[in-house]
């Protein structure tokens, strides 16, 4: 498990408070008894922290992933944002310890094994099987560990495949797993590990928490006590760091709770680490297929009128996951699948008639944001623009085709037809009339939803009013800053609409919302970091906003 840092990187003695019998286990503990209780308790008591400093890590922004070109046909579903935060297959290159020390890349290596005098035996390297980290205790009964740790990360879902080298040790303990941990005091974390002794290997999920100058407490939440457990397992940890935790082993949910007191504010560090108190030989933990995402859910916005259900469907037509559509939006839980998922996103009405779909199968990650092209429940019919030209009193009626993003206009006096193409990047419209080759440039005013056009041949000016409002996507970014204006990451954000929680995460928080729809943005506190005001001066942490264009919001906090 991660090295324990107390205060200003000052190592102090910490003790593990373990549960001595199953009668003392908490009510949310899960286990299926197969191994005898004394063996299980002995293995749990083998879970032991090693004291030592953790290197300071910088914050890393999401890596994202390639987004396919948009299809602007009515009924198409496009990806607007990728939920992938970071990934490393760990088995895609061959590197020696010396190579990794010279160029560690994404990871930082360290641990208590290097701090002994002389250092305890340790090793690490990469090959086709993954990242191998080996450690040997300096003496039986003395724990030594070594780890690879990620940058500070605002992800909520973390995954890796873990392999332990043996089912039993001749004596003492070997512990091998992954950890999602706070980046600041107090050092709290979630562990998904195998623990091995001379009797067996078992897999355990636990929450470890502490406060400066106090004992470290290990709270086991799930223990697999079956005999002959696998030595290789996939583990997925999903947490908001506050009250919510889900853990999957081999894509099967083994633990879930939303009533915990985790006390783990983001950003997080992710550790790959073996530890051992066995001196007989070097024992290696092997790791591969690391990824982190911003959520376990995918979001579909701007769903068509009459849509009731959204689904994730594989190429064989199997429904992998689904959810109801609420307020022309759907949130689908895809936590139990290995990422990326190769699948289509589809939306149906109450008769299961398909209304919208991705044109091709997408690589789907938790945290992905999709949108459907075409009028939504809020949009009504396609927009109609009535324009009056001031010089000749000519009236034109234009219909915006949202599928092709073109405008076809017919003038009533000369039957002139113009085709206009909307440039969504600059929000301008360039039109060419087919009779006189007249060119007009129009600028869309997103705040008033009007279009002012000037024709270059006769200086004619037309003002157009959109009769039915549009609900296109706009970006929303939420930042946290201290009262001096210095931005910092890791404050909790919730996005609500009409009493429905749509999304949640940590600052800097980025998403897309529908223009013209009303949202509520909520900011949480952490310990002595308390919300003070928004950038508009309002002092309610729940801010109501109706975006009409891209918007950046900053919440200011008192930090002392």
Q: What is the pLDDT of residues 58-108, one digit of tens each?
A: 777 778 788 999 999 999 999 999 999 999 999 999 999 999 999 999 999
Does residue 244 contact residue 261 with C-beta atoms inside 8 Å?
no
The CATH architecture that domain 473-558 belongs to is Sandwich (2.60)
The whole-chain average pLDDT of the chain stands at: 78
Per-residue pLDDT, 46: 63
Radius of gyration of the chain (CA): 28
Number of helices and strands in the chain (H, E): 2, 43
**For residue 50, which of 298, 292, 228, 216 has the smallest C-alpha distance?**
216
CATH number of 297-372: 2.60.40
Ordered mean pLDDT values, 10 residues apiece, the chain (560 residues):
32 30 40 62 62 61 85 92 94 97 94 92 98 96 93 94 96 94 83 93 88 65 90 96 94 94 88 95 98 95 94 96 93 96 97 96 95 64 33 37 38 38 37 38 38 36 33 84 91 87 86 88 88 94 92 92
Q: What is the pLDDT of residues 142-160, one digit of tens each?
A: 999 999 999 999 899 999 9
Helix (H, G, I), strand (E, B), or coil: what is residue 269? strand
Per-residue pLDDT, 58: 75
| pTM score, whole prediction | 0.72
Looking at domain 16-67+85-293, its CATH class is mainly beta
Number of neighbouring beta carbons within 10 Å of residue 36:
12
Q: Which parts of 365-416 are beta strand (E)? A: 369-372, 384-389, 395-401, 406-411
**For residue 199, which of 227, 223, 220 has the smallest C-alpha distance?**
227
Q: Which residue has the tokens 């193409």?
A: 421
The DSSP H or E segment spanning 523 is strand 519-523
Burial 378-402 (b: 16+ CB within 10 A, else e): bbeeebebebebeeeebebebebeb
Half-sphere exposure of 123 (CA within 13 A, CB side): 13
């Amino acid at each position: 498990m991660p090295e324990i840092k107390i205060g200003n990187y000052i190592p102090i003695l910490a003790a593990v408070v373990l549960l001595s019998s199953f009668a003392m286990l908490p009510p949310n503990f899960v286990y299926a008894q197969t191994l005898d209780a004394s063996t299980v308790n002995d293995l749990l008591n083998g879970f032991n922290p090693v004291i030592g400093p953790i290197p300071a890590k910088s914050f890393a922004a999401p890596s994202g992933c390639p987004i396919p070109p948009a299809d602007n046909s009515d009924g198409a579903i496009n990806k607007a944002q990728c939920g992938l935060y970071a990934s490393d297959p760990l088995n895609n290159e061959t590197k020696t310890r010396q190579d990794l020390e010279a160029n560690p890349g994404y990871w930082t290596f360290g641990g208590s094994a290097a701090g002994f005098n002389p250092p305890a035996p340790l090793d690490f390297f990469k090959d086709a099987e993954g990242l191998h980290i080996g450690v040997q205790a300096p003496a039986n009964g003395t724990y030594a560990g070594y780890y690879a740790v990620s940058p500070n990360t605002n992800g909520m879902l973390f995954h890796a495949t873990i392999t332990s080298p043996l089912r039993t040790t001749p004596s003492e303990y070997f512990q091998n797993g992954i950890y999602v941990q706070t980046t600041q005091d107090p050092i709290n974390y979630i562990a998904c590990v195998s623990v091995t002794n001379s009797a067996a290997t078992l897999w355990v999920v636990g929450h470890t928490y502490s406060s400066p100058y106090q004992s470290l407490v290990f709270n086991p939440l799930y223990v697999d006590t079956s005999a002959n457990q696998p030595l290789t397992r996939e583990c997925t940890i999903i947490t908001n760091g506050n009250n919510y935790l889900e853990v999957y082993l081999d894509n099967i949910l083994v633990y879930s709770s939303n009533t915990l007191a985790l006390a783990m504010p983001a950003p997080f560090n992710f550790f790959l680490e073996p530890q051992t108190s066995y001196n007989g030989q070097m024992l290696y933990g092997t790791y591969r297929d690391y990824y982190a995402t911003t959520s376990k859910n995918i979001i579909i916005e701007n769903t068509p009128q009459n849509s009731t259900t959204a689904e994730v469907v594989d190429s064989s037509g199997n429904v992998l996951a689904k959810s109801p559509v609420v307020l022309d939006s759907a949130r689908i839980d895809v936590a139990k699948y290995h990422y990326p998922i190769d699948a289509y996103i589809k939306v149906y009405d109450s008769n299961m008639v398909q209304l919208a779909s991705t044109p091709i199968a997408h690589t789907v990650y938790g945290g992905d944001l999709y949108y459907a092209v075409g009028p939504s429940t809020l949009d009504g019919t396609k927009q109609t623009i009535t324009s009056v030209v001031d010089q000749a009193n000519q009236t034109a009626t234009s219909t915006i085709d949202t599928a092709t993003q073109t405008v076809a206009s017919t003038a009533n006096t000369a039957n002139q037809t113009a085709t206009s193409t909307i440039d969504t990047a600059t929000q301008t419209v360039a039109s060419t009339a087919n009779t006189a080759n007249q060119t007009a440039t129009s600028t869309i005013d997103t705040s008033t939803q009007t279009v002012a056009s000037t024709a270059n041949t006769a200086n004619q000016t037309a003002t157009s009013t959109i009769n039915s409002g549009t609900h296109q996507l706009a970006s929303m970014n939420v930042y946290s800053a201290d009262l001096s204006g210095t931005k910092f990451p890791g404050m909790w954000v919730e996005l609500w609409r009409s009493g429905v929680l749509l999304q949640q995460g940590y600052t800097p928080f980025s998403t897309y919302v529908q223009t013209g729809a009303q949202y509520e943005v909520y900011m949480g506190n952490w310990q002595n970091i308390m919300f003070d005001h928004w950038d508009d001066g309002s002092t309610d942490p729940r801010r109501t906003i109706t975006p009409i264009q891209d918007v950046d919001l900053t919440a200011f906090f008192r930090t002392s």
